[in-house]
Structures are given as C-alpha cells and as structure tokens.
Amino acid sequence: MVMLSACETGLGKEKRGEGVMGLTRAFMYAGAPSVGVSLWSVADKSTAELMTDFYRRLLGVAGPAAGSSSPSGLSASAAMRGAQLAMISGKKYSAPFYWAPFVLVGDWH
C-alpha cells in the first residue's frame, strides 16, 4: 500500500480513452495494490493527526496512552474509516474539509 497524503495527490490529467493519468495510476502500474490519495488541498496539522490515527489502526498499535498493541490491525478501508469517524466526532477537525479528501484506490481490503 502507498499513502500519498500531500495536497491533491489523486488528481491528474484526463486522457480520452485512458482515464485519469496521475500519481495513483503510476503507483498502481508499478505494482502497488492500493494507493491512498487526497482529492484537494489539505491542512498540515489535521492531516498529520488523521494519518497517525490511520496508521495506528492499520498496524494494530494502540494510542499513546495505552502503550500496547494488538496482534493485527484493521484493513486499510476500516482503518481510514475509523480515523475519519474519529475526526468527525471531535470538535477541532470535524468539518469535511479536514477528513474527506482522502480516498483509497485499488485493493482496499
């Protein structure tokens, strides 16, 4: 899995008969089974929090207070969903601008 958390990493040029040509396609052609991308400009601090939570869930690592880990993490889609729902339930970054630009492309299981 490749995660591209910078601004607009899921965008590209549309080619007739080919679809969108961009970083997502390049990584998938290079063999990445799934690619996480952003669809618009993202804020640094909220993205850092979202990605930290995403990777904790993906790798099965508990938060800083717990200090333990589970034997296996969640699927990429479940980890992203959980991290996004956590942002929605908080007050600071609950607006869609902060959590909604991130999508998974390819084999998201």
DSSP 91: S
- pLDDT score for 105: 92
- Rounded percentage of the chain residues whose pLDDT exceeds 70: 86
pLDDT of residue 78: 95
Number of CB atoms found within 10 A of residue 47's CB = 19
pLDDT at residue 48 tops 50: yes
Two tokens, residue 103:
């999508």
| DSSP secondary structure string for all residues of 3-67 | E--STTTT-EEEETTTEEEEHHHHHHHTT-SEEEEESS---HHHHHHHHHHHHHHHHTBPPTTT-
Give the model's pLDDT for residue 10.
85
Q: What is the pLDDT of residue 64?
A: 55
Say what the pTM is. Answer: 0.82
Write down the pLDDT at residue 72.
75
Query: Mean pLDDT across the stretch 32-61?
Result: 94
Q: Answer whether residue 9 shows pLDDT above 60.
A: yes
Strand partners of residue 35: 2, 105
pLDDT in tens, 55-79: 999 999 866 544 445 557 899 999 9
The per-residue pLDDT for 8 is 87
In this predicted structure, the answer to whether residue 20 has a pLDDT above a threshold of 90 is no
CA 11 centroid distance within chain: 15
